[in-house]
A = this chain, B = another copy of it.
Amino acid sequence: MVALRDLSAEQRRLLDEQTIELPSWAFGNSGTRFKVYGTPGTPRDPYEKIADAAQVHKYTGITPRVSLHIPWDLVDDYEDLQNYAKEQGVSIGTINSNVFQDDAYKFGSLTNSDESVRQKAVDAHRKCIDVMNKTGSSTLKIWLGDGTNYPGQDSMRRRQDTLARSLEEIYADLSDSQYLLLEYKFFEPAFYHTDVPDWGTALVQVQALGERAVVCLDTGHHAPNTNVEFIVMQLLRAGRLGAFDFNSRFYADDDLIVGLADPFQLFRIMHEIVSQGALDKDSGVNFMLDQCHNVEEKIPGEILSALTVQEMSAKALLVDHKLLRQKQAEHDVLGANQVLMDAFYTDVRPMLAQWREERGLNPDPMRAFQESGYLEKIAQERVGGTQASWGA
């Protein structure tokens, strides 16, 4: 077992400074093509999403920012929304564009051969930049559903070139302190080819743009059996790892709660992060969640996610790097591996409970939230209207 006092000053600083950004859409309903289940109390607008997100921060103390998704989170007055967020104890983070739900984008958005559609998709990003300017958000995150379902349906090469042109136009509209974050995904909703399917494609595209273009690694967006921490290492080596979208998967882009499918993988990812100095808040790597709570409660789901990322980060901080390097240099395969396993098997939960108590937080955030009556309260209050979901 390990206690806070066992940490070095540097370990403690990194633990204290780590933050995790929450996605507004995780608080709305989500599901599969087969069914979207609703729950009483689900937010009906961005204000209610932010209120729910603020609950996560209230109990965990490590989720001070909320990402918005445009147009899902369009409001009339962003100053008002920003003020509301501040009152709740959080702020607005990354702005996500959405060019996958308009009828116009059936055959592509930023890659469309139809210039009017392509322009519409570029303009949708300009609206996001407007929101960034109004909210002070520094990052525009772009994930595209673009791709094709059948061989021959379109020219993959033409689309890649068109994408490059579209991204250039968007990048040109960003200010010098704003970043473009490009996310790749192996497949879905396109089933033959996807225009940005892998880290190689994302890297080639952002390198062509400039220094403020970086890559977002969603942990569920890879081919089966892919070594994700290797990609973390590669993007860090290239200086282009901008952010994580954390979640879990057993099969495809399942968007389950982070760390519940393969916690050891999450630990290995955080070990790579810690090893390369990227846990430091100045590293430029943003730790975000991107999840769907199809069958479980949403706010507890996000609390559990934040706690799990923190736990695996704490375990990664416990790795004895000096001993690890020594064992590696000696080609002591099992010895080196056991340095990692020792840290992973160490139970950091008591230490993190202590960490919360020091900050005046309840040591057991899941229970504290459950007992707060918040879920019952919103179930009673949020009656009428349309529950937020991907469709709206």
Report which A residues bind B (CB closer than 8 A): 1, 30-38, 100-101, 103, 105-107, 113-114, 145, 148-157, 160-161, 186-189, 191-194, 197-201, 203-204, 222-227, 229-231, 233-234, 236-238, 249-252, 254, 256-257, 260-265, 268, 271-272, 275-276, 294-297, 300-301, 304, 311, 324-325, 328-329, 331, 333-334, 336-341, 344-347, 349, 366, 390
Check A224–B223 contact: CB distance below 8 A.
yes
CA of A227 to CA of B222, assembled, Å: 12
Check A347/B1 contact, CB under 8 A, given A268-B151, A390-B33.
yes
Max chain B C-beta neighbours (<10 A), residue from A311, A325, A334, A340: A334
Residue of B with least CB distance to A200:
B200
For the complex formed, measure the closest distance between the CB of A290 and the CB atoms of chain B, giving whole angstroms.
Answer: 14
CA of A233 to CA of B199, assembled, Å: 15
What are 18 of the A-B contact pairs (CB < 8 Å)?
Answer: A37-B106, A107-B331, A148-B295, A149-B254, A149-B296, A150-B256, A150-B260, A157-B236, A157-B276, A187-B252, A197-B230, A223-B224, A224-B224, A225-B250, A262-B262, A345-B347, A345-B349, A347-B347
CA of A73 to CA of B296, assembled, Å: 31
Number of copies: 4
Residue numbers in B under 8 Å from A155 (CB-CB): 275, 325, 328
Residue numbers in B under 8 Å from A103 (CB-CB): 37-38
Check B227–A226 contact: CB distance below 8 A.
no
Check B238–A153 contact: CB distance below 8 A.
no
Residue numbers in B under 8 Å from A237 (CB-CB): 157, 160-161
CA of A229 to CA of B155, assembled, Å: 11
Check A256/B149 contact, CB under 8 A, given A100-B34, A156-B229.
yes
CA of A371 to CA of B209, assembled, Å: 47
